[in-house]
Amino acid sequence: YAEVGKMATDDYVGFTFFVGCMAMMAASAFFFLSMNTFDKKWRTSILVSGLITFIAAVHYWYMRDYWATYMESPTFFRYVDWVLTVPLMCVEFYLILRVAGAKKSLMWKLIFLSVVMLVTGYFGEAVYTTGTGPALWGFISGVAYFAIVYIIWFGEAKKLAEQAGGAVLAAHKTLCWFVLVGWAIYPLGYMAGTEGWYSFVGELGLNMDVIYNIGDAINKIGFGLVVYGLAVAATSTSE
C-alpha cells in the first residue's frame, strides 16, 4: 500500500484542495459518460466540458499534494491548469455559437485575450512580486479580462447568440454571467494573495487558495453543467 500523509483537521485550504480534486474527477466521469446520450452536434461541447474538469482533476491532484507537503500556494500548477482550461472555455463559447455561424476568428480572439490575461497575471503573482509589480500586472490582466467580458456581453458573440435564439441564447446568457461574476472571484483571490494598495483584502482573513478553489469549482463544473443543460434542452426539442 502507499503511505498516506496526515492532514491537519483545521487545514481548510487543504480541505478545499481535496474536495476540489474529487469533484473534478466526478464531474469528468459525468460528462464523459453522458456525452453519447446527446445529439451528435452537442457531443463535442460536452466532451470539452469533460476535458476541462479532467485537466483540473489532474492538476488538483498535484496541488493538493503540493499544499500538503509545503503549505505554500502551488502557483506554478495553478497557472499550468488555467492556461489550458481557460482557452478551452473560449472554445466552448465558439462551439455553442457555431450553430449561429460563429467564425474561428472569434474563438482565436477570445483565446488570445485569455492567454494575455493569464500570462500577465502570472507575472504579477510569481515573477514581479514586490512593490508595484502585482498591482501593475494585475491591472493589465484585468484589461484583457474586461475585453473578454465586452466581446461576449456586447460584441460579436452577443450578436451571434441573438441570431441563434432559443436555448442557445439562454445558455449564452448564463455563461455571460459566469464570466462576469464567476470569473471575478479570481481577481479577488489575487488581491488576497499578493501585495499592493489592496492589501486590506488579505487582511480580512481571506485566503487566496480557498478563493481560487471555490472559483474553480463554480466555473469549471458549473460552466460545464450549463452546457450540459443546453444539450438536454436542445436534444429534447429536436426530438
- Interface residues with ligand RET (CB under 6 A) are 52, 82, 85-86, 117-118, 121, 138, 141-142, 145, 183, 186-187, 190, 216, 219-220
What letter represents residue 77's amino acid?
Answer: F
Distances (CA, A) of 102 to 81, 84, 97, 108: 27, 22, 5, 11
Rounded to whole angstroms, the Cα distance separating 43 from 46 reads 5
Q: How far is the CB of 134 from ligand RET (least distance, A)?
A: 8
Please state whether 116 falls in left (phi above 0), alpha (psi between -120 and 50) or beta: alpha
Nearer to its own copies, 2 or 204 (CB): 2
User: Counting contacts by CB under 8 A, is residue 42 touching its own copies?
Assistant: no
Nearer to its own copies, 26 or 181 (CB): 26
Residues 6+ apart with CB under 8 A from 61: 21
The number of residues in the chain equals: 239
User: Counting contacts by CB under 8 A, is residue 210 touching its own copies?
Assistant: no
Stretch that binds its own copies, among 25-33, 156-164, 170-178, 181-189 (CB under 8 A): 25-33
By beta carbon distance, the residue nearest ligand RET is 121
Choose from its own copies, ligand RET, none: what does 220 bind? Cβ within 5-8 Å by kind.
ligand RET
Are the CB atoms for 167 and 234 separated by under 8 Å? Answer: yes
Choose from ligand RET, its own copies, none: what does 142 bind? Cβ within 5-8 Å by kind.
ligand RET
Rounded to whole angstroms, the Cα distance separating 158 from 236 reads 24
Nearer to ligand RET, 99 or 186 (CB): 186
Grid cell locating 26: 466526478
Rounded to whole angstroms, the Cα distance separating 49 from 137 reads 29
How many C-beta neighbours within 10 Å does residue 154 have? 11
Rounded to whole angstroms, the Cα distance separating 144 from 150 reads 10
Q: Which of residues 50-109 bind its own copies (CB under 8 A)?
A: 50-51, 54-55, 58-59, 62, 64-66, 68-70, 75-77, 80-81, 83-84
Grid cell locating 198: 489592496
Grid cell locating 150: 465586452
Stretch that binds its own copies, among 27-35, 106-114, 142-150, 218-226 (CB under 8 A): 27-35
Q: Which of residues 144-173 bind its own copies (CB under 8 A)?
A: none
Rounded to whole angstroms, the Cα distance separating 209 from 192 reads 9
Stretch that binds its own copies, among 33-41, 101-109, 139-147, 179-187 (CB under 8 A): 33-41
Using CB under 8 A as the criterion, which residues of the chain lie in contact with its own copies when the complex forms?
1-7, 9-11, 15, 18-19, 22-23, 25-26, 29-30, 32-37, 40, 43-44, 47-48, 50-51, 54-55, 58-59, 62, 64-66, 68-70, 75-77, 80-81, 83-84, 126-127
